[in-house]
Structure 1
Amino acid sequence: MKDLFLIIGAPGSGKTTDASIIAKEDDSVTHYSTGDLLREEVARKTELGKLIDSFISKGNLVPLNVVVDTIVTAIKNAPTQNIIIDGYPRSVEQMQAFDKVLSEQNEVCLKGVIEVKVSEQVARDRVLGRNRGADDNEEVFNNRMGVYLEPLEAIIKFYESKNLHFVINGERSIEEIVMDMRALINKIKSKG
């Protein structure tokens, strides 16, 4: 049984950076960014990649079945016992579909959903300051932030009801955030 941790947070919250540092420093952890998994498909210029790109380039959500299939395949093929996926779920429908898939199998156990919490202003300053690509502009940021915030309350309530929701303050140094996230993951794993 593989242990799965989901990391959620606003665009620019640092969730991908935090998770990738943990995976780099711990051989028992594999990290996948939902965005990276989808962008890899786009880079391969497959038909699926073109479909994904038509949504990502506008800051919109990729269709549910595409995302769930992509993530489940990545988890099952992960080379380690512990998996961190950041940027998922991003909608109530994604959450429900993923929960259904997890409940129908016994290979993966969701151990925790960690929210890296930052203010909208901090998120905006980080995203517009990083200039990583064409989608790092004000209009796309506003759309992505809206897409993130709209279902957030329902997602948090759902995982709180299962005692799986945890919060980390994302407005500190990367070192502090990573240290807290690593400690939280180890504490959750040790509970069995």
Structure 2
Amino acid sequence: MKKLFLIIGAPGSGKTTDAELIAKQNNQITHYSTGDMLRAEAASGSTLGKEIESYISKGLIVPIKIAIETIVNAIKKAPSDIIIIDGYPRSMEQLNALDEYLQTDSSLELGSVIEVRVSEETARDRVLGRARGADDNNEVFNNRMKVYTEPLAEIQDFYSAKNLLHVISGEGTIEEIVSEMESFIKTKI
């Protein structure tokens, strides 16, 4: 059985970096970033990529059908039984679609949802400092924060009720955050 860990956090919370480092240090763990997967498809210039780009460039959520298809394909192709996906879910619609999928696939279990919590100030400083793409500017950051925070309480409540939510502070050093997250994941596998 494959075990899935979801990492959520504000833009700039460090969730992708944390997950990448954990996967790099543990060959039995595979990491996928929904943002990276979607950005790669957008950069490919395909028809699907152009559609994805039209959402990403405005800081909007990519439609559920595209996101779920991307995630399910990644899980099925994963070379290990422990999978970390960061940046998902970002809406109740995404959460519900994944939850429905998990109920129909007995070969996959959700181990935990880890929230990397940072202040908006820290998130803004990190995002605007890295300027990875056209979506890293103040206006788009503000929209991305709004998109992230609007459904957050509902997402937290859903996973808390199932005893699956685990919160980690993203304000420390990368080493501290990765160590805490990795230790927690290892208690669940």
Q: For the residues of structure 1 that align with 2:133 and 2:12, how far apart are their CA atoms?
A: 13
Trace 1:38-49 onto structure 2 (pairs within 5 A): 38-49=38-49
- Normalising by structure 1, we get a TM-score of 0.97
CA offset at residue 45 of structure 1? Answer: 1.4
Aligned equivalent of 1:73: 73
The answer to whether residue 70 in structure 2 is matched with residue 82 in structure 1 is: no
CA offset at residue 132 of structure 1? Answer: 1.5
The SS at the match of 1:113 is strand
Aligned residue pair count: 189
Aligned equivalent of 2:22: 22
The SS at the match of 2:58 is coil
Aligned equivalent of 1:3: 3
Q: Structure 2: which 5+ residue stretches go unaligned?
A: none
RMSD value, Cα: 0.6
CA offset at residue 39 of structure 1? Answer: 1.2
Aligned equivalent of 1:176: 176
**Where do 4+ consecutive residues of structure 1 move more than 4 Å?**
none
The SS at the match of 1:59 is coil
Give the letter aligned to residue 19 of structure 1: A
Give the letter aligned to residue 5 of structure 1: F
Give the letter aligned to residue 82 of structure 1: I
Give the letter aligned to residue 74 of structure 1: A
Aligned equivalent of 2:127: 127
Aligned equivalent of 2:59: 59
Output one character per residue of 1:7-41: Cα deviation in whole Å (capped at 9) or x when no partner: 00000000000000000111000000000111121
The answer to whether residue 148 in structure 2 is matched with residue 143 in structure 1 is: no
The SS at the match of 2:182 is helix
Q: For the residues of structure 1 that align with 2:48 and 2:134, how far apart are their CA atoms?
A: 21
CA offset at residue 122 of structure 1? Answer: 0.7
Q: Structure 1: which 5+ residue stretches go unaligned?
A: none
Aligned equivalent of 2:110: 110
